[in-house]
Amino acid sequence: EAGVAQSPRYKIIEKRQSVAFWCNPISGHATLYWYQQILGQGPKLLIQFQNNGVVDDSQLPKDRFSAERLKGVDSTLKIQPAKLEDSAVYLCASSLGVGQGRYNEQFFGPGTRLTVL
Amino acid sequence: KQEVTQIPAALSVPEGENLVLNCSFTDSAIYNLQWFRQDPGKGLTSLLLIQSSQREQTSGRLNASLDKSSGRSTLYIAASQPGDSATYLCAVYGGATNKLIFGTGTLLAVQP
């Protein structure tokens, strides 16, 4: 079974530029997550989709970050304009579903390492 | 608000040693705790998942314990090998929010 795919693996941009990341979840997984992992910290959830609807985007900086999951499969995360503090690894994860009071195991992709200069 | 802390932040041991990594969390109303491994430039690999009703899980040389009431978990690695060198993250699910909340990780280096 293929895992979670992400691209690009690395990206270097100047501040104020825009950037987009792509994620393809495991086939059949209804729930998709984007995490931000700053160097030396654990991953922090940015946004969670179930199918093509947003479940939680409470920690997404909506003035500059946006995400979509058209057709409930692939997802893109965009930053516009980027700031120096956006330098981080962006991880995508997917799970079969989400159930209240029940954990659906999340499977993680390799991540995209973003450097903002 | 759930907070997850991992001690130590970094650890260096000679090959063959047994070692313990620690994880503590502030809200004991969790559904499960999970230990992950992260290699440089790679994503997260799940090592062990402990349900809230369980006290430990074992996989090969790894053993993870959970004491929900005291908000603690340990990951025991037996007979460490250089290939065990990585960052180890613990994460809890449940509590006030149905999110996976991660600790800051322990960077392990096993010297040959």
Partners of residue A105 in chain B, C-beta under 8 Å:
46, 49
CA distance A13 to A81: 10
Q: What is chain A's pLDDT, residue by residue, as a tens digit (117 residues)?
A: 689 999 999 999 999 999 999 999 999 999 999 999 999 899 999 999 998 899 999 999 999 999 999 888 999 999 999 999 999 999 999 998 765 556 778 999 999 999 999
Render pLDDT for B24-40 as a digit per residue (tens, 0 to 9): 999 988 889 999 999 98
Among candidates B4, B42, B99 on the partner chain, residue whose Cβ is nearest the Cβ of A45 = B99
Among candidates B41, B45, B89 on the partner chain, residue whose Cβ is nearest the Cβ of A42 = B89
Residue B96 token pair:
């006030």
Render pLDDT for A48-68 as a digit per residue (tens, 0 to 9): 999 889 999 999 999 999 999
CA distance B91 to B93: 7
Q: What percent of chain B has pLDDT over 90?
A: 82
Distance from CA of B14 to the nearest CA of A (A): 23
Q: How many residues does chain B have?
A: 112
**Cα-to-chain-centroid distance, residue A55:** 14
Q: What is chain B's mean pLDDT, rounded?
A: 93
pLDDT confidence band for B79 (50 / 70 / 90): very high
- Sorted by sequence, the CB contacts under 8 Å of residue B81 that are 6+ apart come out as B15, B110
- Sorted by sequence, the CB contacts under 8 Å of residue B37 that are 6+ apart come out as B44, B45, B47, B86, B87, B88, B89
Distance from CA of A72 to the nearest CA of B (A): 20
